Amino acid sequence: MADEPAVMPTYGRYPLTLVRGEGMRVYDEFGREYLDFAGGLGTMPLGHSHPGWLEAVYKQSDLLTMVSNLFFTHPQAELAARIAGAMDMGETQVFFGNSGAEANEAALKIVRKWGLPQGRTKIVALEGSFHGRTIATLAATGQPAKREKFEPLLDWFEFVPPEDAGALDGAIGEDAAAVLVEPVMGEGGVIPLSDEFLRAAREISESRGVLLVCDEVQSGIGRCGAWRASSLAGVTPDIATFAKGLGGGLPIGAAVARRELAFAAGEHASTFGGGPLVSAAALAVLSAIEEEHLLENAAVLGERIMGELRIGLEGQPLVSEVRGRGLMIGIDLLSPAAKEVVLALIDKGVLSTEASSNVVRLTPPLIVGEPDADTAIDAVVAAIAKVSEEVAG
């Protein structure tokens, strides 16, 4: 394992040092191969070393890497137009940052700018949600354990339980500016919000005159079988945020807002946001998703994986539920044994992640094919059987 005494131990790492990747696979320092169903925490829609992505990155880094946002660059302009078109949210404009948290910060600032002159300062968010680790996005996160050590934080947020449209409606007072939801709650345990609840959130926001913000940092860019998961429920938010998959492994985040809500000159900024290199990489991601029909693949393979897992895990006493949307899949356990399952899967040559202590998460590249899906399904069933025996015994 890499010796890293100089690194702040913010992450509990799995016992592997990875050195190389290709397609659906990564390799450790001893040359051992792993099927990558962690997918860089959902950041690798094209898998590793995708030829189209590599070519775009090589070409652009040779041509122009970075000049700051004080100058026009073609890749950013083209990327913004492509994202605005793909997200199909009406007339929109895009702000680029470098991460999910930064995309959400931009969204929160847009909400603030819109609401403040009307005395609308509160944002209704969901219990169990996750929106990032910066001060504002942490305040928006409905997980007290993550906030606790840093409180008091911003008091803009009120939390209501997911799936409770009545509570959501009740929390929207005269001072409310926005409703903030993740269409599939990722870090909270891969919990898809129902179409009915998402539609209710849209209708309530509209009737009460507040904005609807969808955090699609994890669920967007094809992960759930559509460019944005909210569209699967027929819901169009006023603002949506994207990050993880967008750069195909390079850091980029985007806040997409209705044109009339957009920042004006001087109201927001990010030095690196949407630079030529990362924008060219993101364009290659969007092109490959289209050309290789990866939205369809995510939808079809996701259903297949979840269906097969439900069959393979039927009667398994450790498992309460298999759920998700597209290739954002969670296996909910009845005890907090997700880490043990992830470790058992590493032994079997498959990478996955935890989304809370009792949910094992699969976020493979969107290029995954049936043979790799079947290998992963068999490994998950076997790993859970092993951990289940250990828990019981």
Q: What is the DSSP letter of 134?
A: S
> How many residues are present in the chain?
393
Q: The tokens 């996005």 sit on which residue? A: 137
Instruction: Kindly state the greatest CA–CA separation across the chain.
Output: 64
Residue 187 interacts with ligand PLP (CB under 6 A): yes or no: yes
**Paired sense of beta strands 328-333 and 25-28, if any:** unpaired
Task: Using alpha carbons, select from 284, 281, 263 the residue that is nearest to residue 272.
Answer: 281
Residue 224 in the binding site for ligand PLP (CB under 6 A)? no
Among residues 73 and 99, whose Cβ is nearest to ligand PLP? 99
Q: Which of 48, 120, 131, 258 touches ligand PLP (CB under 6 A)?
A: 131
Of the listed pieces 168-176, 196-204, 215-223, 309-317, which binds ligand PLP according to CB under 6 A?
Answer: 215-223
Is residue 25 within 8 Å of 35, Cβ to Cβ?
Answer: yes
Q: Which of 104, 205, 358, 388 binds ligand PLP (CB under 6 A)?
A: 104
Q: Does residue 298 contact residue 326 with C-beta atoms inside 8 Å?
A: yes
Q: Which 228-267 residues touch ligand PLP, going by CB under 6 A? A: 243
Using an 8 Å Cβ cutoff, are 365 and 390 in contact? no
36 scored as a contact of ligand PLP (CB under 6 A): no
Return d(Cα 305, Cα 221) in angstroms, integer. Answer: 19
Tokens of 147: 């906030």
Rounded least distance, CB 167 to ligand PLP, Å: 21
Using CB positions, name the residue nearest to ligand PLP. 100
Nearer to ligand PLP, 257 or 319 (CB): 257
Q: Nearer Cβ to ligand PLP, position 187 or 238?
A: 187
DSSP β-bridge partners for residue 253: 97
Is 218 a binding residue for ligand PLP by CB under 6 A? The answer is yes
Q: Is residue 186 close enough to count as binding ligand PLP by CB under 6 A?
A: yes
Binding residues for ligand PLP restricted to 43-102, rule: CB under 6 A: 99-101
Residues forming contacts to ligand PLP in the complex (CB under 6 A) are: 99-101, 104, 130-132, 182, 186-187, 215, 217-218, 243
